[in-house]
Structure 1
Amino acid sequence: MVNYCVYQDRCHAEVEQKMREFLLIDEAKEEIILYLLKENFLNEERFTRSYIRGKFYIKHWGKTKIRMHLKQKQISEKLMNMCFDEIHEDDYLKTITRIYEDYFSKQKGLQEYQKKSKTIKYLMSRGFEYEKINDIFD
């Protein structure tokens, strides 16, 4: 389990899922998790921060999509809110603008309102908030 956690930051849910594959007794699972926490191989805040950075700066996901995926990994709302300072507001707006311009310019043979509508849907599917998208249009 140490190698599993060293390779990449993991959350509790991922570690517990991996241990289920090993069919360990409950006491062994608890001992392993305590050891990983004590030796700082398992750190929920570090995982959340690196997950947010990676999904935004590499995959260019919006906050909504990142938040949804973190909820699936059973990360608390409080921890999520605390860690979203990893995304700088200027970078966030620049990313929305860049994706908007790229996607909007690729729309051919459509009316202006259709291009705008498709672009808004695309940006929302990438996890960006409607209010932020509207700010780009203004």
Structure 2
Amino acid sequence: MTESVKDALRKAAMFCAYQERTQQEVRDRLKEWGVWGDDAEEVIAELIQQNYLNEERFAKSFAGGKFRVKGWGKRKIKQHLQQRGITGYNLDQAMNEIAPDDYRGTLSDLLAKKRQSLRGDSPLVVKQKLVRYALSKGYEPDLIFSVLGEE
């Protein structure tokens, strides 16, 4: 391992220790530092071996965080993970992080909170706005209508 690769490994390890990252994020950062090709792959392999880089762990923490903190639905979380290069098994594991009861409860809470902020429009207009809001958060249409039907 050349000195520049060791230096890149040290910097990349600090980059990964600060926050969970995907392989693509590390690859992009290495490219910024002038490390690519086999050298970049060697650094990434070493980071994986030393457990600095773990895409399953990243996917789980990303999904859990976006759901708990921002109230995102599974569709939006899945789309953002796919944009970051997470697919297959890791994507499935991330989706399993979200408990179905919590998911439905969070959607119900979001809709109740949003309803309070809406002006006194007709019930149909309010419902349209709530559906549009929940869709923008990434929730599934059938679940949205099911939760709205309970109220």
TM bin, normalised by shorter chain, reads: over 0.9
Distance 1:106 1:46 in 2: 36
Distance 1:90 1:101 in 2: 17
Do residues 134 (structure 1) and 145 (structure 2) align? Answer: yes
Do residues 119 (structure 1) and 130 (structure 2) align? Answer: yes
Match for residue 76 of structure 1 among 87, 109, 117: 87
Moved more, 74-83 or 9-18: 74-83
Which residue type is aligned with residue 3 of structure 1?
M
2:7 counterpart residue number: none
Q: How many residues align?
A: 138
Match for residue 34 of structure 2 among 23, 38, 56: 23
Which residue type is aligned with residue 73 of structure 1?
R
Which residue type is aligned with residue 16 of structure 2?
C
How far off its partner does 1:17 sit? Answer: 0.9
Which structure 1 segments of 5+ residues have no match? none
Q: Give % identity.
A: 33
Which structure 2 segments of 5+ residues have no match? 1-11
How far off its partner does 1:44 sit? Answer: 0.8
**Deviation by residue 1:18-65 (Cα, 9 ceiling, x = unmatched):** 111011142221210111011111111001001111100111111010
Alignment of 1:46-85 (within 5 A): 46-85=57-96
Which residue type is aligned with residue 25 of structure 2?
E
Which residue type is aligned with residue 55 of structure 1?
K
How far off its partner does 1:105 sit? Answer: 2.1
2:49 counterpart residue number: 38
Query: Per chain length, whose mean CA-contact separation is higher, i.e. which structure has more relative contact order (CA < 8 Å, sep 6+)?
Result: 1
Which residue type is aligned with residue 68 of structure 1?
Q
Give the ranges of 4+ consecutive aligned residues of structure 1 lying more than 4 Å apart after TM superposition.
none
Distance 1:25 1:75 in 2: 21
Which residue type is aligned with residue 136 of structure 2?
S
- When normalised by structure 2's length, the TM-score is 0.87
After superposition, the CA RMSD in angstroms is: 1.0
